[in-house]
A and B are shown apart, each in its own frame.
Chain A
Amino acid sequence: MNEIIPPLVNPEQSASAADSATWASLVERIRTDDPSGMEELYRVFSQGIRFYLCRQLGTQDLDDRVHDIFLIVTQSIRRGDLREPDRLMGYVRTVLRRQVASHIEQIVHSRNNHADLEMGLRLSDRHPDPERSAIQNENQTLAMRVLHSLKSRDREVLVRFYLKEQAPEDICRELDLSATQFRLIKSRAKTRFIELAKRRFSLRNLVPQP
């Protein structure tokens, strides 16, 4: 079942299937301060924006950051900055990327300026989230089990690919593998990992939650 939520279109359709008219209608309602426009913007984008920010910056201040993104997007739509409503998705992504880059710059700048005042590192920063670390360690153990269960050539393939980030073509050439064999080794290992993880944790716990 698909779970795409483009505005005012059948949820079974893909994101790209949301047509120009639907984006244009949404953008126009935001521009004219129609509350239904804001509601729809939140409904359509909030989960995706949370996902992106969480993946890049973590869960700290996540709600505030999501709010900031909506503020920037709506203000710029009202100013008329978004001339092509079709580009709304691309525009939201651009705002997200800029915000992430600027946030990272700020952290570094603030740390450099205030390190001597012991402000760069809050007490809460000093300790890793124990639950998250535990899940990461469990997942690493499962990955070790998968790697150790493989014959040495297959293990070497995965180590080169995931650790060394060696190009698939180079791995295939050096270890005398076809592209299909390479794909099979990878997909079997991933399937095995997911099976082990499902057995060990509830699926929700496979991924550390925000």
Chain B
Amino acid sequence: MDVEGHLVEEEIERYSLAASAEPELSQVEEHLLLCASCRKKVETSDVYVNSMRRAAAQIRAEEKRAPRWAGMAFLLAAAVLLAGVILIRSNATAPFAVSLAVTRGVGINAQAPAGVPLALQLDVTGLPAAASYRVEMVDRAGKQVWTGTFPGRPAKPLPAGIYFVRLYSPAGDLLREYGLEIGPLLK
């Protein structure tokens, strides 16, 4: 808190990143119950953090694709007949970055292609801080189709359908659920 009792930039950023630990978390949330100017700052910070996460995920995905294509050019030169097959396989195995943003509502707010690994970028804004979270993906019927951690390895390729990604604390408490629609393979 600053001298006037308002949240300082670092506290706001930690809160947006869901990295505030107790007792700071209680102090921040209690202050936000009463302070409109700090709520405004948190809203801006949430938007910024969310946008940077999505953009950073896009940049990482682009960086990963670039060497893959460079490598493929070499393979094309070496074995033209195999090129088509390699191209298909490469596209099929490159993880698709999918951002599951703040759940303002419980609807389906993200799409991803079927049949490719999914690099899940989960918005953990406002959640208790943890080094990693447990993630579970279930289908519409609630049947588990994949489990992993966030951050962690990409989720396995899934067929088209409606899925729900559930985020659990290390202690096993369900923290959040995101909707995800998986569609046909990207052309």
Residues on A close to B: CB < 8 A? 1-6, 13-18, 44-45, 47-49, 51-52, 54-60, 89-90, 92-93, 101, 104-105, 107-108, 111-112, 115-116, 120-121, 124-129, 132-133, 136, 139-144, 146-147, 155, 158-159, 162-165, 186-187, 189-190, 193-194, 197, 206-208, 210
Contacts and interface: CB of A to CB of B under 8 A. Distances in A.
Interface in B134-165: 140-142, 151, 162, 164
A104 B164 CA distance: 13
Contact of A125 (B1, B17, B107): B107
24 contacts: A2-B37, A14-B31, A14-B35, A15-B33, A15-B34, A17-B5, A45-B34, A49-B33, A58-B104, A89-B30, A108-B177, A120-B142, A126-B107, A126-B108, A126-B181, A132-B109, A136-B50, A162-B17, A162-B56, A163-B52, A165-B17, A190-B48, A193-B51, A193-B52
B20 interface: no
Interface stretch (B39-47, B66-74, B76-84, B85-93): B39-47
Interface in B95-142: 99, 101-110, 121, 125-126, 140-142
Given A104-B175, A115-B142, A165-B19, A139 B47 contact: yes
Contacts, number: 193
A108 B108 contact: no
B104 A104 contact: no
Given A58-B103, A128-B108, A165-B151, A2 B174 contact: no
